[in-house]
Structure 1
Amino acid sequence: MKIDLDNQLFQSALPVLSTIESHGYEAYFVGGCVRDTLLELPIHDIDIASSATPDEIEAMFKHTFEVGKEHGTIVVLHNDVPYEVTTFRTEGAYSDFRRPDEVQFVRNLEEDTLRRDFTINALAFDHYGNLYDYHQGLPDLKAKLIRAVGTAQERFNEDALRMIRAIRFASQLGFTIEAKTFTSLQELAPLIENVSIERIRIEISKFFQGEFFHLNGDLLPESGLPPYIKAFSKIDVKAGIAGLKHHLKPLIENELTREESFVWALFLHSAGINEKSTIKRLLSSWTHSNQLIRDVQDTIQLLLATDANQLNSWLVYQFPDYIVKQMIDYLGAHQNEKRTELLKLYEQLPIYHRKELQLDGRRIMQVLNMEKGGPIVGKLLLEVEKLVVMGQLENDEQLLLNYVKQAYQSTN
């Protein structure tokens, strides 16, 4: 089978393959870029496998840097674009269920594919677009099947994260996990305890955001993995997944964006977790960033206020624009009448940020003849900001100053 490599990402990377081949070595496009091209999906990253060793790769390119040389990977910079080039290899035992204790470089592509996780990821293109498939990956693609290369137990024992990756691919691609592969996954679920929470979090987020999550979301609780993931211990995963499927289905069907913070917010809300402190504690255990944690808290608070009919201009103003717009899209997809109310409140806000206010703390100090600021300055600024947002005071500097003077005098 031959494919036209007309995608610009392939075209830009072809000189790297040509350089390697000009030195007498083999080089191939491998992994997700091959799989997604065959599925006619967008590709985002280019990975290259070669018979050349890391030292040989470094010798033939001017600009390289190491990211895992001991495991065979060198990054080649070509036209300022980084390409990971990994040497064909076989692997030893995985005593930590994550990385091989040792690798042995080989010169044969077929040997290299034996270490890949799933057949659909063990495919390769040469620079002519010829397909190399040693494990029936193409038939599995056509059958929409996720099947381990060789024996699933061996692959999962090598890297336990592959169990999470299996359900993530099912969510992203809408594929079925082959029966023996899924049975092995369930049997070996305890091995996930050996994987860092950072690696698990990345896969779970992609799982939540998958285009087919509403169809394959139940694979997570069915897998038996959650009880062995400590960060899930305080969460009703089954309830969270059921609610998230309901929340996301219309968003997926309407091809609306589903940001990482948004899907985590809906997951926690569905599991009955709405308290800010609890959200922070749980998401911190997942090693989420402080920014994502704040976004999740805001999303849930806005959702609760919407459900409780507590929306008003001041409340809407206090949330970041992207949180409000995301909620508007969400409500619209669910044909919720609250969308109209929220959209109207948002669009009619006199200002969207404090920096738009025609007054600041320094100006207040000047007009009140204050040499040093204090709590009163912040209090007055907040008061006029709220009045402007609520439409009770026009955003005009002189009007705001008059109000500040009167309010200050009344307190003294």
Structure 2
Amino acid sequence: MEKVFIKALPVLRILIEAGHQAYFVGGAVRDSYMKRTIGDVDIATDAAPDQVERLFQRTVDVGKEHGTIIVLWDDETYEVTTFRTESDYVDFRRPSEVQFISSLEEDLKRRDLTINAMAMTADGKVLDYFGGKKDIDQKVIRTVGKPEDRFQEDALRMLRAVRFMSQLGFTLSPETEEAIAKEKSLLSHVSVERKTIEFEKLLQGRASRQALQTLIQTRLYEELPGFYHKRKNLISTSEFPFFSLTSREELWAALLINLDIVLKDAPLFLKAWKLPGKVIKEAIHIADTFGQSLDAMTMYRAGEKALLSAAKISQLRQNEKLDEKKLKDIQYAYQNLPIKSLKDLDITGKDLLALRNRPAGKWVSEELQRIEQAVVTGKLSNQKKHIEEWLKTCGQH
């Protein structure tokens, strides 16, 4: 049993010693079986939320009506959820009613995929009622029960299934893929924010190429913001290795570039995904920097971060891998610019007013920009004395 489970065992044991059932469930059990890095450890129990709260000193109610309590133990947090069944779903994502039950198998039956519907006992035995281990061995993504039923309960599960393809390098079972193609329009009922989370994870997976091609084959892409008329662009975009990028801004900039979205349409496209303003601004800045010549003024205007991001995207489009030496050369060239911003100039607006003996006006910023360009391009050294002499020689602009 891995360390993360051993660390969480006291929580399981407290529940069991109080007369309850308790198991590790979900993604942690899947990743343990696959020998992958384990993320959050979740626990399922037949103890009611009130009983869980009474058994542990430090808890947080994050959804008691749905059976979930966070238990704080040592320096970790564990999601402890009561076994439950769910009645009819409203708006294809939320159950209208939750009923607490005492059967682990019934609880696992309501989960999305077989690979996520396994449990582990306190002594490390894996309980697999729906063939999750076999599907992992065969590298198949399959729903628990009929795929149409699962997707009608929560339409986001269709996008999640394709996202797991990307992350794990698995393929969809034929019946799962057929059901996605049939039920795809249900995804329109899901909030954009939830789609964005899944789509970003999909792009970052090692098998994003196959996942994006599945979005195209099933036409699920039509239910994603701004993609309806982008089938052809998505086919070529699927070849790009998004997993080599490291930030959200790079991810969305690469998407803009690969989808061939013109810069004036970029804000509307990115806003449709409900992205934060900062991410939108930086992604557009990277896309704008992409493809420009690496002269001093371009590097200066871009800034180091956007410059390197644009260079990475450019390299990946050509070679599908990064040339670290070239990136270091670009970074070195940027770091050797004489100034990095207007604030670095050895002369200020106040100095100009005194030198020209003129009232303040638009001319001050124009003059500063002229000096800035001369310094950046190496025509002028960034020393106040030299700048003043240059201004006298050049006269007023």
Task: Decide: shared fold, TM above 0.5.
Answer: yes
**Aligned amino acid, residue 255 of structure 2:** F
Offset at residue 367 of structure 1 (A): 5.4
CA contact (8 A) 2:353 2:359 kept: no
Establish whether residue 70 from structure 1 lines up as the match of residue 53 from structure 2: no
Distance across 2 between alignment mates of 1:316 and 1:204? 31
Q: 1:18 to 1:344 in 2, by over 3 A?
A: same
Offset at residue 168 of structure 1 (A): 0.7
CA contact (8 A) 2:237 2:259 kept: no
Establish whether residue 135 from structure 1 lines up as the match of residue 130 from structure 2: yes
**What is the count of residue pairs matched by the alignment?**
392
Offset at residue 46 of structure 1 (A): 2.0
Deviation readout 1:11-58 (Å, 9 max, x if unpaired):
433332233223222222211111122212222222221221111111
Counterpart for residue 410 of structure 1: 396
**Aligned amino acid, residue 254 of structure 2:** L
Residue aligned with 1:273, SS: coil
What RMSD, in angstroms, separates the aligned Cα atoms of the two structures? 2.9
- Structure 2 counterpart of 1:113, from 108, 112, 115: 108
- Structure 1 counterpart of 2:239, from 240, 246, 256: 246
Residue aligned with 2:80, SS: strand
Q: 1:383 to 1:371 in 2, by over 3 A?
A: closer
Q: Report 1:343-362 matches (<5 A).
A: 344=329, 346-349=331-334, 350-351=337-338, 353-354=340-341, 357-359=344-346, 361=348
Counterpart for residue 289 of structure 1: 276
CA contact (8 A) 1:73 1:85 kept: yes
Offset at residue 390 of structure 1 (A): 1.8
Deviation readout 1:221-275 (Å, 9 max, x if unpaired):
1122233345433x51x23322223332xx75xxx33433323333332332122
Offset at residue 157 of structure 1 (A): 0.7
Please identify, of 208-217 and 154-163, the stretch whose mean Cα deviation from structure 2 is larger.
208-217
CA contact (8 A) 1:299 1:323 kept: yes
Residue aligned with 1:232, SS: coil
Establish whether residue 176 from structure 1 lines up as the match of residue 171 from structure 2: yes
Offset at residue 402 of structure 1 (A): 5.0
Q: 1:152 to 1:391 in 2, by over 3 A?
A: same
Percent identity of equivalent pairs: 34
Counterpart for residue 264 of structure 1: 252
Distance across 1 between alignment mates of 2:388 and 2:63? 62
Residue aligned with 2:152, SS: helix
Please identify, of 55-64 and 139-148, the stretch whose mean Cα deviation from structure 2 is larger.
55-64
Distance across 2 between alignment mates of 1:329 and 1:270? 13
Distance across 2 between alignment mates of 1:169 and 1:15? 31
Q: Report 1:333-412 matches (<5 A).
A: 333=316, 334-335=318-319, 344=329, 346-349=331-334, 350-351=337-338, 353-354=340-341, 357-359=344-346, 361=348, 364=351, 368=355, 375-400=362-387, 402-403=389-390, 410-411=396-397
Distance across 1 between alignment mates of 2:148 and 2:248? 31
Distance across 1 between alignment mates of 2:313 and 2:281? 19
Distance across 2 between alignment mates of 1:191 and 1:214? 24
Q: 1:40 to 1:363 in 2, by over 3 A?
A: farther
**Aligned amino acid, residue 149 of structure 2:** E
Distance across 1 between alignment mates of 2:38 and 2:297? 43
Distance across 2 between alignment mates of 1:52 and 1:373? 74
Distance across 2 between alignment mates of 1:96 and 1:369? 69
Offset at residue 379 of structure 1 (A): 3.3
Q: Report 1:12-411 matches (<5 A).
A: 12-233=7-228, 235-236=229-230, 238-248=231-241, 256-275=244-263, 277-305=264-292, 310-333=293-316, 334-335=318-319, 344=329, 346-349=331-334, 350-351=337-338, 353-354=340-341, 357-359=344-346, 361=348, 364=351, 368=355, 375-400=362-387, 402-403=389-390, 410-411=396-397
CA contact (8 A) 2:308 2:330 kept: no
CA contact (8 A) 2:28 2:41 kept: yes
Structure 1: tracts of 5 or more residues without a match: none
Offset at residue 335 of structure 1 (A): 4.3
Deviation readout 1:185-237 (Å, 9 max, x if unpaired):
1111111111111111111111111111123320111122233345433x51x
Distance across 2 between alignment mates of 1:402 and 1:16? 75
Q: 1:280 to 1:335 in 2, by over 3 A?
A: same
Offset at residue 406 of structure 1 (A): 6.7
**Aligned amino acid, residue 221 of structure 2:** P
Distance across 1 between alignment mates of 2:49 and 2:354? 69
Offset at residue 160 of structure 1 (A): 0.3
CA contact (8 A) 1:361 1:377 kept: no
Counterpart for residue 5 of structure 1: 2
CA contact (8 A) 1:25 1:52 kept: yes
Distance across 2 between alignment mates of 1:360 and 1:126? 70
Q: 1:5 to 1:335 in 2, by over 3 A?
A: closer
Q: 1:364 to 1:42 in 2, by over 3 A?
A: farther
